[in-house]
Amino acid sequence: MTETITDTVNRFIFKTETFAIFKLDNIVALGDVAGVREGDRLTVTGSWQEHPKYGRQLRVEHWEKPVPSTEEAAADFLSSGLIKGVGPVLAERIVSVLGPNAVSAILEDPDVLKKVKGIGKKAPEIRRQLQETYQVQQVVAELIRLGLTLKTAMKAYMKFGRPAAEYVRRNPYCLTELDLIGFHRADDIARRAGLAPDSSFRVKAGILYVLNESLWDEGHAYLPRDELISRSLTLLNHVEKSVSLDIVEKELSRLKGVHGSAEVSLAWAREYEEEIARDVKRLARQRFDVPPLPRDLIRGIELTPDQNAAVKTALESGFSILTGGPGVGKTQTVRAVIRAFELQNPWGGVFLCAPTGRAARRLSEVTGRQAHTVHKLLGLRNGHADRNRKNPLECDLLILDEASMACLVLTKRLLEAVPNNARILFVGDADQLPSVGPGNILRDLLDKVPTVRLTEIFRQAAESQIVTNAHRINRGQMPLIDRSKTDFIFLEREDPEDIAKCVATCASGMGYDPLDVQVLSPMRKGPVGTAELNKLIQGGMSGPRVKYGQYVFHVGDKVIHTKNNYDKGVFNGDIGIIKKIKMQHDVLVQYSSGLVSYSGDDLRELEPAWAVTVHKAQGSEFKAVIIPVTTSHYVMLHRNLIYTAVTRAREKVILVGTKKALAIAVRNNKPIQRYTALSGLLRDAPRR
């Protein structure tokens, strides 16, 4: 039911949103409201609903700050403290001269305050403050008339300021510069505003949308010109055929912020690839003298010839790569590199890092040394890094583990912070999935810098069906299942619903701690996607719960944190268990690092984690993994995806589905193709 109320703003709570708290018993959420301050009297219109933390509230559809129209109201407003330099005495004098509509008169006439004695040079500043106080609602009202929601209108005002309505009216596609406002939403607003479907604004916005979508959703650093034009035409003509090939080509040639003609990229993405290439060459051209290595670098362990070669390469080279599959001794080799370096450089600084928190903790566990996320190592937040080219890391050896997860942005930030005369070693499995973010860094760097591939499977590892079958899958061979062993199991199910039920049963009935068993699905959507699997596994849970957005969280739920939060000390990919839900919808989550509290909109950083995508599990290991394999995921049936999923397990793998789907995935050796320029830019990088 729509309702309008008027009251005085009592106080603000600043978190991810700004809430105006009225003196009424009701809480009115206004979003990020610029120009509204404590003491303002507002009229708001909206509908009542229940907020997960604050209870009954009015979801605001429109708000305005009425202009005082009586002498008492005008004097109270002017002397309220909102207008600096105007106290009670001066306010009374202004109202006595200008009357009950004093505020309106000042807003309309820049010279009207000259009639008031004693104001003098204060007049322009008083009028400016009044304009600032009231212009927000005027601009927002105009934007709402153009078809924007209140929330979007406020975002537009915060981004563009007073000219926001003029900008949007002229070019609705400027809204794509705002968070969460995509091309399609801007397109709807433009259509209602009557903008021509073949306008220059629309075509340029469409081309940029295609480039951004291919970058962030598919990982392409560029698109071939013909493919970019084809995709752009499909997007721009999805409702009606209104944009020709000639128009797209013409606007592409005029478009700012892009690079290249045959291979078109966003200019900043190309610049990042070029910077990475320059830093790789800068580091790779360095060579270091290495004395003979002792045979017992790691007590009780004799390294293989390939491992010794890898240690020597890492110490001799400014930039090197160590790669290989499971069970080939990458961890031992990394420990040997660190040991050898410290023997030869007792005062040298060794830094260990990984792209995610879970990968960094695992690196710490296997090396016995402190490791950080790349973000924490660099002091990287909100696009700014404390460590950079001007303030490099104080290290002599830097090791990046799980390098296949390193994207274009992270790699650029890391390499520019590595000083001259330092060695850097990338460690990773090049046959795993590429990074979630743009680029294909590890594959592009292979053999462009000194690279050692470990291939010999250690005897103890060879006894594991997980290790042997992972290597079989990587060679394009179907896994062999020895029924006398229990570490690699295939449960045949045909129907997707049966597959989902079987996965859920296995996840809850294996006897492992919830954090030690993980369901890995190729996709988020569909009957065997992570969304449905999480609901299915949660189905039997009871007790305290809290709903936020599309998710319901229970005590005992496994959850994953989805963004880096330095204030809480939790990072993207961290998985924990909900231990308690308090009366005020405060949720306490137990992570390996400790207990963390979430309340209100903090919950937007959590998702259920009984099932996660294979991509989200990169860099993590679990005692057991359960993997649905079905032709309903046909588009995602790639060898490196199933290989990555299998190699997340230490003790047990359970595949649930059809052998036909598994065979399709094993045969499909087409790696996830990404258009990148880095490999070409590195062709003349120093090699061994």
Q: What is the DSSP string of 531-569?
A: HHHHHHHHTT--SSEEEETTEEEETT-EEEE-S-BTTTT
128 SS3 class? helix
Per-residue confidence (pLDDT) for residue 683, from 0 to 100: 82
Residue 437, both tokens: 């973010």
Q: Which of 424, 456, 488 is the last residue of a domain?
A: 456
Per-residue confidence (pLDDT) for residue 48, from 0 to 100: 73
Question: Measured between alpha carbons, how far is 164 from 153 in angstroms, rounded to an integer?
Answer: 9
Question: What CATH number corresponds to the domain at position 30?
Answer: 2.40.50.140
| Residue 645 shares a structural domain with residue 518 | yes
| Residue 491 shares a structural domain with residue 350 | no
Whether 685 is in a domain gets the answer no
Strands 551-554 and 545-548: antiparallel
Whether 396 is in a domain gets the answer yes
Per-residue confidence (pLDDT) for residue 65, from 0 to 100: 66
| Residue 36 shares a structural domain with residue 126 | no
Name which of 387, 446, 444, 371 is nearest 419 in CA terms.
Answer: 387
Per-residue confidence (pLDDT) for residue 397, from 0 to 100: 97
pLDDT range class, residue 462, cuts 50, 70, 90: confident
Are residues 220 and 214 in contact, defined by beta-carbon separation less than 8 angstroms? yes
| Residue 443 shares a structural domain with residue 531 | no
Question: Measured between alpha carbons, how far is 503 from 501 in angstroms, rounded to an integer?
Answer: 5
Per-residue confidence (pLDDT) for residue 39, from 0 to 100: 61
Are residues 378 and 386 in contact, defined by beta-carbon separation less than 8 angstroms? yes
Q: Which range scores top for mean pLDDT: 68-77, 176-185, 319-328, 568-577?
A: 319-328
> What tens digit of pLDDT does each residue of 648-663 get?
999 999 999 999 999 9
Per-residue confidence (pLDDT) for residue 196, from 0 to 100: 92
Whether 203 is in a domain gets the answer no
652 SS3 class? strand
Query: What is the end-to-end Cα distance of the chain in Å, rounded?
Result: 73
Residue 453 has pLDDT above 70, yes or no: yes
Between the alpha carbon of residue 622 and those of residues 358, 471, 514, 518, the distances in Å are: 11, 19, 10, 7
pLDDT range class, residue 642, cuts 50, 70, 90: very high
Residue in this structure with the two tokens 């017992």, named with its chain if needed: 296
Q: Which amino acid is at 390?
A: K
Per-residue confidence (pLDDT) for residue 269, from 0 to 100: 97
Mean pLDDT across the stretch 479-503?
A: 93
The strand pairing partners of 320, in sequence order, are: 425
Question: Measured between alpha carbons, how far is 334 from 398 in angstroms, rounded to an integer?
Answer: 11
Residue 688 has pLDDT above 70, yes or no: no
Residue 12 has pLDDT above 50, yes or no: no
Per-residue confidence (pLDDT) for residue 614, from 0 to 100: 93
Whether 561 is in a domain gets the answer no
Residue in this structure with the two tokens 């480039």, named with its chain if needed: 211
Question: Measured between alpha carbons, how far is 482 from 491 in angstroms, rounded to an integer?
Answer: 13
Question: Measured between alpha carbons, how far is 109 from 130 in angstroms, rounded to an integer?
Answer: 12
Per-residue confidence (pLDDT) for residue 684, from 0 to 100: 66
| Residue 427 shares a structural domain with residue 475 | no
Domain residue limits at 627: 462-542+609-667
Residue 35 has pLDDT above 60, yes or no: no
Whether 14 is in a domain gets the answer yes
Question: Measured between alpha carbons, how far is 487 from 491 in angstroms, rounded to an integer?
Answer: 13
**Residue with the larger pLDDT of the pair 178 and 427:** 427
Whether 251 is in a domain gets the answer no
The strand pairing partners of 13, in sequence order, are: 19
What residues have CB less than 8 Å from 451, skipping those under 6 apart?
320, 321, 322, 323, 445
pTM beyond 0.75: the answer is yes
Per-residue confidence (pLDDT) for residue 415, from 0 to 100: 98
Per-residue confidence (pLDDT) for residue 18, from 0 to 100: 43
Are residues 478 and 472 in contact, defined by beta-carbon separation less than 8 angstroms? yes
| Residue 27 shares a structural domain with residue 98 | no
What residues have CB less than 8 Å from 490, skipping those under 6 apart?
479, 481, 654, 655, 656, 659, 662
Residue 191 has pLDDT above 60, yes or no: yes
- Read off φ and ψ for residue 534, nearest 5 degrees: -65, -45
Residue 125 has pLDDT above 50, yes or no: yes
Residue 278 has pLDDT above 90, yes or no: yes
> What tens digit of pLDDT does each residue of 210-245 get?
999 999 989 999 999 999 999 999 999 988 899 999
| Residue 482 shares a structural domain with residue 618 | yes
| Residue 21 shares a structural domain with residue 96 | no
| Residue 30 shares a structural domain with residue 109 | no
- Read off φ and ψ for residue 331, nearest 5 degrees: -65, -45
Whether 514 is in a domain gets the answer yes
> What is the 8-class DSSP label of residue 605?
G
Are residues 320 and 451 in contact, defined by beta-carbon separation less than 8 angstroms? yes
Per-residue confidence (pLDDT) for residue 448, from 0 to 100: 94
Please compute, for residue 499, the number of CA atoms within 13 A of its CA located in the half-sphere on the CB side: 30
Per-residue confidence (pLDDT) for residue 14, from 0 to 100: 33
> What tens digit of pLDDT does each residue of 563-585 get?
878 788 888 888 999 998 886 56
- Annotated binding-site positions for ATP: 327-331
| Residue 436 shares a structural domain with residue 335 | yes
Residue 685 has pLDDT above 70, yes or no: no
Per-residue confidence (pLDDT) for residue 23, from 0 to 100: 47
Question: What CATH number corresponds to the domain at position 322?
Answer: 3.40.50.300
Are residues 424 and 283 in contact, defined by beta-carbon separation less than 8 angstroms? yes
239: number of Cβ within 10 Å: 9
The answer to which of 8-17, 406-415, 454-463, 594-603 has the lowest mean pLDDT is 8-17
> What tens digit of pLDDT does each residue of 420-440 get?
999 999 999 999 999 988 999
| Residue 90 shares a structural domain with residue 60 | no
Strands 2-14 and 18-22: antiparallel
Q: Residues of 548-581 as b/e, b for ≥16 C-beta within 10 angstroms?
A: beebebbbebbbbbbebbeebebbbbbbbbbeeb
Per-residue confidence (pLDDT) for residue 517, from 0 to 100: 95
- Annotated binding-site positions: 327-331
> Residue 395, class by beta-carbon neighbours within 10 Å (0-12 exposed, 13-18 middle, 19+ buried)?
buried
> What tens digit of pLDDT does each residue of 506-521 get?
998 888 899 999 999 9
Based on the structure, what is the number of domains in the chain?
A: 4
Whether 180 is in a domain gets the answer no
Q: Which of 434, 456, 478 is the last residue of a domain?
A: 456
Residue 285 has pLDDT above 90, yes or no: yes
User: Helices in 447-512 by DSSP H: which ranges?
Assistant: 459-462, 465-474, 496-508
| Residue 513 shares a structural domain with residue 635 | yes
Per-residue confidence (pLDDT) for residue 32, from 0 to 100: 46
One-character DSSP codes across 291-310: PPPPTTSBTTBPPPHHHHHH
Residue 41 has pLDDT above 80, yes or no: no
Average pLDDT across the chain, whole number = 86
**Residue with the larger pLDDT of the pair 438 and 599:** 438
Question: Measured between alpha carbons, how far is 256 from 328 in angstroms, rounded to an integer?
Answer: 48
Residue 289 has pLDDT above 60, yes or no: yes
> What tens digit of pLDDT does each residue of 340-398 get?
999 999 999 999 999 988 889 899 999 999 999 999 999 988 778 999 999 999 999 99
Are residues 470 and 347 in contact, defined by beta-carbon separation less than 8 angstroms? no
**Residue with the larger pLDDT of the pair 143 and 313:** 313
Residues 558/564/570/575 CA torsion (nearest 10 deg)? 20
Are residues 648 and 520 in contact, defined by beta-carbon separation less than 8 angstroms? yes
577 SS3 class? strand
> What is the 8-class DSSP label of residue 180?
T
Element (H, E) at 380: strand 380-381
Residue 332, both tokens: 């031992």
Q: Which of 146, 177, 202 is the last residue of a domain?
A: 146
Q: Which amino acid is at 565?
A: N
pLDDT range class, residue 165, cuts 50, 70, 90: confident
